[in-house]
């Protein structure tokens, strides 16, 4: 049986949101039509942004342990619903026996080709790592990184989601989006998997939001269904 492997727990709510999206995106009329998944929910992996920015504890050994766990369960594909963890994409991909989707590639592929400037709403670590900026630049799209006034709002949004206060998170996100709208930015990538959970609490965002969790889920479902993993053997 072919399995989707999920390396998650970064954070737990974001992992559940990813799984929910995979289930909802799968066309099914009964249990047996859904995609089989195995989830390594590993919340004790060291903080990714701290490692990237402040030379904090290295999360790579724990990330590779998670890949090893999924390898032992013979998964056919790995998805990692944490953007910052993709700073270590290459060593994880090298360790994996199965293909590993890259969340930034799936997310950036959803940007309208008419967009010329796109904002990045992400952790400080993901911004410093620069893989989103590179992916956008390759498409001739200018990445707009939040300034010193906006990034604390994004950071606090992410922190509040991790703490379970989605209303507070939404308030921070709404303030950041208002600043983007004032700058004339029409599209923003929710390049942290916590942010879409906050965005649900906002009635009508002033900019177009592209959900990295949703795009990763779409790519996961497409890959698995093309190979018939949703059909009972």
Instruction: For residue range 49-102, list pLDDT tens digits in order.
Output: 999 999 999 999 999 999 999 999 999 999 999 999 999 999 999 999 999 999
- For residue 233, being part of any structural domain is answered with no
DSSP class of residue 84 equals G
Query: Does position 47 have pLDDT exceeding 70, yes or no?
Result: yes
pLDDT of residue 139: 95
- For residue 158, being part of any structural domain is answered with yes
- For residue 231, being part of any structural domain is answered with no
Tell me, yes or no, whether 43 and 89 share the same domain. yes
CA of 27: how far to CAs of 2, 18, 21, 211, 222, in Å?
A: 17, 16, 12, 20, 11
pLDDT of residue 76: 98
Tell me, yes or no, whether 26 and 95 share the same domain. yes
- For residue 37, being part of any structural domain is answered with yes
- For residue 89, being part of any structural domain is answered with yes
Residue-number span of the structural domain to which 164 is assigned: 105-212
Tell me, yes or no, whether 156 and 116 share the same domain. yes
Are 60 and 88 spatial neighbours (Cβ–Cβ below 8 Å)? yes
DSSP class of residue 88 equals G
pLDDT of residue 5: 98
Query: Does position 199 have pLDDT exceeding 70, yes or no?
Result: yes
Output the pTM of the full model.
Answer: 0.97
Are 233 and 123 spatial neighbours (Cβ–Cβ below 8 Å)? no
DSSP class of residue 55 equals -
Tell me, yes or no, whether 84 and 164 share the same domain. no
Tell me, yes or no, whether 113 and 200 share the same domain. yes
| H or E segment to which residue 79 belongs | strand 77-79
Tell me, yes or no, whether 128 and 141 share the same domain. yes
Q: What is the mean pLDDT of residues 204-224?
A: 98
Query: Does position 233 have pLDDT exceeding 70, yes or no?
Result: no
Query: Does position 207 have pLDDT exceeding 70, yes or no?
Result: yes
The per-residue pLDDT for range 28-45, each reduced to its tens digit, is 999 999 999 999 999 999
- For residue 139, being part of any structural domain is answered with yes
Average pLDDT, the chain: 97
Tell me, yes or no, whether 63 and 119 share the same domain. no
Rounded Cα distance between 14 and 195, Å, is 9
- For residue 31, being part of any structural domain is answered with yes
pLDDT of residue 176: 98
- Domain total for the chain? 2
Tell me, yes or no, whether 80 and 109 share the same domain. no
Query: Does position 1 have pLDDT exceeding 80, yes or no?
Result: no
Closest CA to 146 of 200, 192, 111: 192
Tell me, yes or no, whether 71 and 149 share the same domain. no
Q: What is the mean pLDDT of residues 198-221?
A: 97
Rounded Cα distance between 209 and 207, Å, is 6
Tell me, yes or no, whether 109 and 205 share the same domain. yes
SS3 8: strand
Tell me, yes or no, whether 46 and 130 share the same domain. no
Are 78 and 98 spatial neighbours (Cβ–Cβ below 8 Å)? yes
CATH number of residue 221's parent domain: 3.40.50.1860
- For residue 232, being part of any structural domain is answered with no
Tell me, yes or no, whether 35 and 84 share the same domain. yes
Query: Does position 25 have pLDDT exceeding 70, yes or no?
Result: yes
């Amino acid at each position: 049986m072919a399995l989707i492997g999920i390396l998650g727990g970064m954070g737990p709510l974001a992992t559940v949101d990813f799984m929910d999206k995979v289930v909802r995106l799968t066309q099914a009329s009964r249990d047996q039509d859904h995609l089989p998944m195995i989830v390594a929910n590993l919340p004790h992996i060291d903080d990714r942004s701290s490692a990237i920015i402040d030379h904090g504890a290295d999360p790579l050994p724990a990330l590779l342990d998670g890949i090893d766990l999924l390898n032992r369960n013979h998964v056919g594909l790995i998805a990692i619903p944490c953007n910052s963890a993709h700073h270590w994409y290459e060593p994880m991909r090298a360790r994996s026996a199965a293909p590993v989707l890259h969340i930034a590639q799936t997310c950036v592929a959803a940007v309208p080709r008419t967009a010329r400037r796109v904002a990045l709403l992400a952790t400080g670590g993901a911004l410093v790592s620069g893989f989103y900026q590179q992916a956008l630049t390759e498409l001739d799209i200018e990445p707009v990184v939040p300034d010193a006034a906006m990034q604390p709002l994004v950071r606090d949004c992410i922190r509040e989601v991790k703490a379970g206060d989605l209303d507070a998170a939404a308030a921070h996100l709404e303030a950041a989006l208002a600043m983007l709208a004032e700058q004339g930015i029409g599209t923003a990538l929710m390049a942290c998997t916590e942010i879409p959970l906050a965005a649900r609490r906002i009635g009508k965002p002033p900019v177009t939001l592209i959900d990295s969790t949703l795009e990763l889920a779409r790519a996961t479902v497409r890959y698995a269904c093309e190979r018939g993993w949703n059909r009972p053997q």
